[in-house]
Structure 1
Amino acid sequence: MKADVFDARALREAFGAFPTAVTAITASDPAGRPVGFTANSFTSVSLDPPLLLVCVAKTARDYSTMTAAEHFAINILSEAQKDVSIKFARPLEDRFAAVDWARAPNGCPIFAQVAAWFECSMHDVIEAGDHVMMVGRVTAFKSSGLNGLGYARGGYFAPSVAAKANSSAAGGEIGAVAVLERHAALFPLGD
């Protein structure tokens, strides 16, 4: 298919075949108020210097504030934080009211119970079609050991449940697997 005749919905669906982590990007506006939204286009870039990037739609709420910020943070949401992802994906006035958070060393909002967080200084903002790539230089980070929340094909998934199901299936231990609204539950065989 030629680029000038791509169906946007079909292209989005094809992009969605690639499982990603779910993150919340946060920063503070010039008055010190927290801003943020979800993003699943995130990757590490370099260890030396420590760089990461996240892609942000130019139509995102707080886009201008985020791309002008000296510092921003990436919160990698844990498997138990689907509700946080949903809140930060919607146009709510105060997304932070229902989230337990604190400030990182440079003032960026960091959520409790995330799989990991990274606070960054803005290294570069690169134009990329209807998005920009924000490249951040990591200035502080912490990994909790919790598993990250996954997203693919328009739905959330818990990598630990999938791994347990695969492991149990290999050993012939699965009694039943139930899937409801793209969430899986594993019911092992009893002894």
Structure 2
Amino acid sequence: MTSDLIEEELALRLRKAFSAFPTGVVAVCAIGEDGHRVGMAVNSFTSISLDPPLVAISVANTSRTWPALARAGVIGLSVLGNGHEEVSRRLAAREGDRFDSGAWRVGDEGAVHLDDAALWLTCRVHGEVEGGDHTIVLLAVDDARFFPEIEPLVFHHSRYRTIGA
């Protein structure tokens, strides 16, 4: 086997293995420099610190959306709720209107949040760390609104799922 083939096989096994860890899906959205909404979906989101309040997302280095979000200043994170599968698919698409589904709100400073989300965070970029083919983005949290009545959307084994009672 060639080295490239071995690396491809490992990458496929890792993709499958990593999908065994259930994650939430987060909409990362803002008003861009051109005044239009810009956003993407991520499932690599984690809390980092309470003091100072920090969270992190992981963004592919090939993302065409992240540079526009990084320049936006204030960014809205919405933890998608059960029933937001179409919103997630649209935000992950390379073509078309990413905001065609769902009801969106724009905050005074330009953070964009999704109605019926389980959580809203309003953030600013705190720093970035290189991590292979992704960049780990640390975000400082300016505000948080939690909606405990909303069940989150879960992504597991490359499928959308819900949490049972």
Give the TM-score taking structure 1 as reference length.
Answer: 0.77
Q: 1:92 aligns with which of 95, 105, 109?
A: 95
Aligned to 1:184: none
Q: Which has the larger radius of gyration?
A: 1
2:135 aligned with 1:132, yes or no? yes
Q: Is the 8 A contact 1:22 1:149 kept in 2?
A: yes
Percent same amino acid among aligned pairs? 33
Structure 1: gaps of 5 or more residues: 165-191
Give, in whole Å, the separation in 1 of the partners of 2:142 and 2:48: 14
Structure 1 residue 71: Cα displacement: 2.0
Aligned to 1:154: 158
Give, in whole Å, the separation in 2 of the partners of 1:97 and 1:152: 25
Aligned to 1:101: 104
Give, in whole Å, the separation in 1 of the partners of 2:99 and 2:46: 24
Give, in whole Å, the separation in 2 of the partners of 1:84 and 1:148: 13
Give, in whole Å, the separation in 2 of the partners of 1:118 and 1:21: 14
Give the TM-score taking structure 2 as reference length.
Answer: 0.89
Q: Which has the higher contact order (CA 8 A, sep 6+)?
A: 2
2:12 aligned with 1:9, yes or no? yes
Give, in whole Å, the separation in 1 of the partners of 2:92 and 2:69: 15
Structure 2: gaps of 5 or more residues: none
Moved more, 148-157 or 65-74: 65-74
Q: 1:22 aligns with which of 18, 25, 28?
A: 25
Give, in whole Å, the separation in 2 of the partners of 1:117 and 1:28: 16
Aligned to 2:118: 115
Structure 1 residue 152: Cα displacement: 1.0
2:146 aligned with 1:143, yes or no? yes
Task: Report the number of matched residues.
Answer: 159
Structure 1 residue 106: Cα displacement: 2.0
Aligned to 2:38: 35
Structure 1 residue 35: Cα displacement: 0.6
2:50 aligned with 1:47, yes or no? yes
Q: Is the 8 A contact 1:117 1:142 kept in 2?
A: yes
CA offsets 1:162-187 (integer angstroms, 9 cap, x no match) = xx3xxxxxxxxxxxxxxxxxxxxxxx
Structure 1 residue 9: Cα displacement: 1.0
The CA RMSD over aligned residues, in Å, is 1.7
